[in-house]
């Protein structure tokens, strides 16, 4: 006790690109003041801060739900949080932010094109069979004109850095991306438990997101409506992101509704049941998947949706965010075409790079993938949450054989990428007490991009961190943690 | 006022108000009963059974326990996971409700409710010492008051607030009438030579409703049945009196849309109270009167359910 806990010279930052520490054990540009404050803390103090953070999380009720075999309703877990923030320089962030806007503009143009002229398919930018065979393509959306021509109003794009420091887009989550409430709460926790860290930096605030989201959603309301009513549609308390649904509803001043609270009238308008009777709803920020939205159209067994909702949306009487069918661009095979889509629709060079990818449906690529399964990550087109992937280098021969069979049987459903070594940052690990150590842990970053009448990118995003040594799996459902993300002004 | 509160949210807020009130009332009942027993002569078989009668849980209790001992009753009422109205379970239900209506209350409210829940679950144990039990129940009561104070000073007093308060007041009116019913029924018959203890018991009725000091401040006479009954049923300044609760409910209902059914039900309850000569109620007539109060409260609940919770 009492000794200086962190000797940065002992911190091994050579195995990956570390966001705060150089391979020689020095502070990366801008990280100096942060590392100095951390170095001054004793073991006991570090443990105390981490405990304070955990207490704050418990008392604020920041949870996520994990599904497990034994308990069908899921278990509420405290949100995992690490007290060391991740830094991004404002100048770099500005470039990333421009890149994200560009990317989402191209994706929206592509989705709109898929449901209208299909120009990009006819011109061969994306072979038509990829779209037609996509599980996320919805015939019912053909010809629909959502406001502003925007389909993906809320996008969560995952960014990673490889071991040389180069930044890549890993995937674009366009269906119902979650995590933004944790980004906001991480900042609130950090202010509570580490106020002195804020003295040395000009940190850009993140808390305007809810108002931007509310404005974005209001901009989608049918034009005749002067003060639009916005609601958040949740599948209910057992959903893993329920905390986020309640959070966003409360900070936006929107109503949190479940399917049973809504009805569609003969006039094709959507109404919610209130103490004053039926009240018309103009915009639904839906946090349930397409196929559960409307049991009269999609899954007839869905208890989560609202019968007639698709009819109301098609008639333009209600806006749905994100629009049904937008998942057609949230497909890991379509992902491989995004740089081409940026060039095709925007006539610009992509600012952000994709991870080099192999489409298994193309014979040459497939042969390469099958020959190199031990070096690649193979991903199914339509899974999320890190499920159903093969992490080649770590997999056993049996898993690889099973995947080879799956890829041959349905090549359209798979793509592969080289195994990146995700960048890392110092993370407090180990059991509380003297065994706690700062060690590098791999991380990614999920910024959120809003598109309505205007486009907006969060200042930074949600940094997710793999808490297990060497692990690249950052998903909270699989033991990942998170960090506060600071976009800092260092350049005069 | 924003009148278009979601029906489902209104119902959850109402129940949230009821569960919180129920938890606090139960804590208070146990504390008061423990204090009362310390001053009672041993041959009076008052014991802990009355708390089971007051909370109207005899059926459940008897299915789980053989005897209404202090230990059994306290465990049953505070932390028995098999009993849905045990404090820990009421607060678990309150917390679930609070989670689903977070957007209608100040965000920090959830921290208070969460803390209340966690406190109850860690401090209420099956067989604590009396000192520890008192500390836990008192801590719980303070936390409820902090929550209610915070809400009253910081929450918008619009429809969500009104439903919370309606839940509080209906639960409280229910509890007040039950306490009067049970505590007056187990009072000693007149003329058995234990008059000082009878006074203690009437005092305990006052203490159960946090009304002892108020009684003495209002009424300059010794504690006696007609005055106590009038005070607890009809006094409009006493926050736990039946009349006060009904008036508060009436004000709440009047501020809400589509209120005619609920207002009618509330007015009927008030009318019955005004029509009764409560000071003269005794024995069977008092019991019948209380029964009628319970029926009226049930009708009020049904009216609210039909217009606001199930409506659309």
Average pLDDT over residues A271-280: 94
Tens digit of pLDDT for each residue in A80-97?
899 999 999 999 999 999
> Which neighbouring-strand residues pair with A359?
A415
* Residues above pLDDT 90, as percent of chain A: 62
**pLDDT given for residue A462 in this prediction:** 96
Is some CB atom of chain A closer than 8 A to the CB atom of B257? yes
Backbone angles phi and psi of A150, in degrees to 5: -100, 135
**Chain B residue at shortest CA distance from A262:** B312
Tens digit of pLDDT for each residue in B218-233?
988 888 888 999 999 9
Query: Per the CB < 8 Å rule, is B312 touching A277?
Result: yes
Contact B97, B19 (CB under 8 A): yes
**pLDDT given for residue A68 in this prediction:** 54
Average pLDDT over residues A449-470: 94
**Chain A residue at shortest CA distance from B159:** A275
Cis peptide before A424 (omega within 30 of 0): no
The secondary structure of A431-481 as a DSSP string is: SSSTT-EEEEEEEEEE-EEEESSSEEE-SS-EEEEE-STT-----GGGTEE
Tens digit of pLDDT for each residue in B71-130?
999 999 999 999 999 999 999 999 988 988 888 888 889 889 999 999 999 999 999 999
Over the range B20-49, which residues count as b (16 or more CB within 10 Å of their CB) and which as e? Answer: bbbbbbbbbbbbbbbebeeebeeeeebbbb
Average pLDDT over residues A429-439: 78
Complex ipTM tops 0.85: no
Q: In the predicted model, what is the mean pLDDT of chain B?
A: 90
Give the H/E segment covering residue A209: helix A209-218
Least confident interval from A2-16, A163-177, A255-269, B297-311: A2-16
Query: Per the CB < 8 Å rule, is A60 touching B110?
Result: yes
Q: Which domains does chain A have, with CATH numbers?
A: 92-158+203-346 (3.40.50.11290), 357-418 (3.30.1490.270)
**pLDDT given for residue B37 in this prediction:** 82
Q: Is A291 left (phi over 0), alpha (psi -120 to 50) or beta?
A: alpha
How far, in Å, CA of A104 to CA of A156, rounded?
10
> Is residue A395 pLDDT above 50, yes or no?
yes
**Residue A275: which of B5, B96, B100 has the nearest Cβ?**
B5
> Is residue A480 pLDDT above 90, yes or no?
no
Contact B262, B303 (CB under 8 A): yes
Contacts B100 to A, Cβ<8 Å: 237, 246, 256
| Residue in this structure with the two tokens 């920020």, named with its chain if needed | A285
| A463 Cβ contact list (under 8 Å, min separation 6) | A86, A425, A443, A444, A445, A446, A482, A483, A484, A485
**Chain A residue at shortest CA distance from B10:** A275
Which has more confidence, A258 or A480?
A258
> Is residue B195 pLDDT above 80, yes or no?
no
Query: Per the CB < 8 Å rule, is A246 touching B100?
Result: yes
**pLDDT given for residue A340 in this prediction:** 96
**pLDDT given for residue B139 in this prediction:** 97
Interface test with B, best of A78, A274, A278, A281 (most B CBs within 10 A): A274
Strands A390-391 and A376-380, how do they pair?
antiparallel
Average pLDDT over residues B145-155: 94
Average pLDDT over residues B264-285: 93
Least confident interval from A2-16, A227-241, A345-359, B254-268: A2-16
Tokens of A429: 């690990």
Average pLDDT over residues A280-290: 96
Is some CB atom of chain A closer than 8 A to the CB atom of B280? no
**pLDDT given for residue B192 in this prediction:** 55
Give the H/E segment covering residue A341: helix A338-341
Shortest Cα–Cα distance, B161 to chain A (Å): 13
**pLDDT given for residue B45 in this prediction:** 62
| B191 Cβ contact list (under 8 Å, min separation 6) | none
> Is residue A3 pLDDT above 50, yes or no?
no
For residue A2, name the pLDDT band (cuts at 50, 70, 90): very low
Interface test with B, best of A275, A284, A285 (most B CBs within 10 A): A275
Is some CB atom of chain B closer than 8 A to the CB atom of A260? yes
Torsion B20-A272-A306-A325 (CA) sign: negative
Is some CB atom of chain A closer than 8 A to the CB atom of B107? yes
Classify burial at A421, counting beta carbons within 10 Å of its beta carbon; exposed 0-12, middle 13-18, buried 19 or more: middle
For residue B132, name the pLDDT band (cuts at 50, 70, 90): very high
Size of interface A-B (CB pairs under 8 A): 90
Give the H/E segment covering residue A415: strand A414-418
Contacts A279 to B, Cβ<8 Å: 4
For residue A1, name the pLDDT band (cuts at 50, 70, 90): very low
> Is residue B191 pLDDT above 90, yes or no?
no
Tokens of A256: 């949190």
CA angle B122, B123, B127 (to 5 degrees): 115
Q: In the predicted model, what is the mean pLDDT of chain A?
A: 90
Contact A358, A340 (CB under 8 A): no
Backbone angles phi and psi of A270, in degrees to 5: -95, 135
Tens digit of pLDDT for each residue in A174-189?
999 999 999 999 999 9
Is some CB atom of chain B closer than 8 A to the CB atom of A78? no
**pLDDT given for residue A71 in this prediction:** 47
> Is residue A11 pLDDT above 50, yes or no?
yes
Average pLDDT over residues A248-272: 95
Contacts B307 to A, Cβ<8 Å: 275
Query: Which SS3 state, helix, strand or coil, does residue A228 take?
Result: coil
Tens digit of pLDDT for each residue in A54-78?
888 887 777 776 665 544 455 667 7
The secondary structure of chain B as a DSSP string is: -----BHHHHHHHHHHHHHHHHHHHHHHHHHHHHHHHHTS-TTS--SSHHHHHHTT-HHHHHHH-SS--HHHHHHHHHT-TT-TTSHHHHHHHHHHHHHHTGGGS-TTHHHHHHHHHHHHHHH--SS--HHHHHHHHHHHHHHHHHHHHHHHHHS--SHHHHHHHHHHHHHHHHHHHHHHHHHHHTSPPTTSS-HHHHHHHHHHHHHHTT-HHHHHHH--S---HHHHHHHHHH-SS-TTSHHHHHHHHHHHHHTSSS-HHHHHHHHHHHHHHHHS-GGG--HHHHHHHHHHHHHHHHHHHHHHIIIIIS--
Neighbours of A9 (CB within 10 A): 10
Is some CB atom of chain A closer than 8 A to the CB atom of B35? no
How far, in Å, CA of B243 to CA of B296, rounded?
13
> Which neighbouring-strand residues pair with A271?
A263, A280
Tens digit of pLDDT for each residue in A188-243?
999 988 888 888 888 999 999 999 999 999 999 998 788 899 999 999 888 888 88
């Amino acid at each position: 006790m009492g000794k200086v806990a962190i000797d940065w010279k002992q911190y091994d930052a050579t195995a990956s690109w570390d966001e705060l520490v150089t391979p020689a054990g020095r502070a990366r540009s801008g990280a100096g003041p942060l590392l100095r404050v951390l170095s001054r803390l004793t073991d006991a103090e570090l443990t105390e801060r981490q405990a304070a953070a955990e207490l704050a999380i418990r008392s604020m009720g920041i949870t996520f739900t994990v599904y497990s075999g034994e308990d069908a309703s899921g278990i509420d877990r405290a949100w995992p949080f690490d007290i060391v923030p991740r830094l991004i320089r404002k100048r770099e962030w500005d470039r990333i932010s421009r890149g994200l806007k560009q990317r989402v503009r191209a994706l929206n143009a592509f989705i709109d094109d898929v449901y209208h002229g299909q120009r990009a398919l006819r011109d061969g930018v994306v072979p038509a069979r990829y779209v037609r065979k996509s599980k996320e393509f919805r015939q019912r959306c053909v010809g629909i004109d959502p406001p502003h021509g925007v389909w993906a109003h809320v996008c969560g794009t995952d960014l990673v850095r490889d071991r040389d420091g180069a930044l890549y887009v890993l995937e674009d989550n366009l269906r119902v991306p979650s995590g933004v409430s944790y980004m906001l709460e991480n900042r609130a926790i950090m202010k509570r438990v580490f106020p002195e860290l804020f003295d040395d930096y000009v940190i850009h605030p993140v808390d305007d997101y809810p108002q931007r989201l509310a404005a974005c959603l209001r901009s989608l309301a049918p034009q005749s409506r002067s003060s639009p009513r916005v609601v958040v549609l949740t599948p209910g308390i057992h959903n893993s992101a329920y905390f986020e649904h309640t959070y966003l509803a409360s900070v936006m001043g929107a109503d949190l509704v479940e399917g049973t609270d809504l009805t569609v009238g003969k006039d094709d308008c959507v109404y919610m049941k209130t103490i004053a009777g039926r009240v018309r709803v103009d915009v639904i920020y839906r946090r349930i998947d397409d196929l559960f939205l409307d049991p009269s159209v999609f899954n007839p067994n869905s208890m989560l949706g609202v019968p007639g909702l698709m009819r109301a949306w098609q008639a333009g009487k209600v806006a749905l965010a994100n629009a049904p069918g937008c998942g057609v661009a949230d497909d890991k095979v379509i992902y491989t075409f995004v740089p081409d889509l940026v060039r095709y629709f925007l006539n610009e060079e992509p600012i952000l790079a994709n991870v080099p990818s192999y489409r298994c449906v193309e014979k040459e690529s497939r042969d390469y993938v099958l020959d190199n399964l031990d070096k690649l990550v193979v991903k199914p087109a339509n899974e999320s949450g890190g499920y159903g992937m093969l992490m080649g280098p770590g997999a056993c021969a049996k898993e690889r054989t099973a995947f080879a069979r799956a890829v041959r049987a349905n090549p359209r459903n798979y793509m592969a990428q080289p195994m990146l070594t995700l960048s890392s940052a110092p993370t407090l690990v180990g059991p509380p007490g003297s065994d706690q150590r700062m060690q590098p842990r791999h991380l990614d970053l999920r910024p959120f991009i809003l598109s309505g009448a205007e486009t907006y990118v969060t200042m930074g995003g949600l940094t997710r961190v793999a808490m297990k040594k060497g692990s690249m799996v950052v998903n909270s459902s699989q033991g990942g943690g998170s960090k506060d993300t600071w976009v800092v002004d260092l350049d005069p | 006022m924003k009148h278009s509160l979601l029906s489902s949210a209104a119902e959850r807020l109402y129940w949230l108000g009821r569960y919180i009130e129920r938890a606090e009332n139960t804590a208070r009942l146990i504390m008061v009963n423990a204090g009362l027993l310390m001053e009672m002569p041993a041959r009076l078989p008052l014991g802990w059974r009355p708390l089971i009668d007051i909370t109207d849980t005899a059926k459940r209790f008897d299915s789980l326990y053989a005897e209404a001992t202090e230990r059994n009753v306290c465990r049953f009422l505070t932390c028995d996971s098999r009993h849905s109205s045990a404090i820990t379970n009421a607060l678990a239900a309150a917390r679930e409700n609070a989670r689903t209506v977070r957007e209608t209350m100040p965000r920090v409210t959830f921290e208070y409710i969460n803390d209340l829940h966690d406190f109850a679950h860690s401090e209420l144990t099956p067989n604590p010492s009396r000192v520890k039990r008192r500390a836990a129940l008192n801590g719980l009561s303070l936390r409820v008051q902090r929550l209610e104070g915070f809400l009253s000073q910081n929450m918008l007093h619009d429809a969500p607030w009104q439903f919370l308060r309606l839940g509080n007041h209906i639960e409280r009116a229910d509890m007040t009438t039950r306490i009067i019913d049970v505590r007056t029924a187990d009072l000693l018959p007149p003329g058995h030579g234990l008059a000082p203890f009878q006074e203690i018991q009437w005092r305990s009725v006052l203490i159960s409703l946090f009304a002892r000091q108020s009684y003495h401040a209002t009424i300059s006479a010794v504690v006696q049945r007609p005055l106590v009954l009038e005070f607890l049923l009809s006094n409009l300044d006493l926050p736990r009196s039946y009349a006060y609760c009904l008036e508060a409910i009436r004000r709440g209902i009047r501020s809400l849309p589509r209120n005619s059914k609920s207002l009618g039900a509330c007015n009927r309850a008030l009318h019955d109270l005004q029509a009764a000569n409560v000071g003269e109620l005794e024995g069977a007539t008092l019991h019948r009167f209380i029964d009628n109060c319970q029926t009226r409260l049930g009708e009020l609940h049904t009216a609210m359910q039909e217009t606001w919770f199930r409506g659309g």
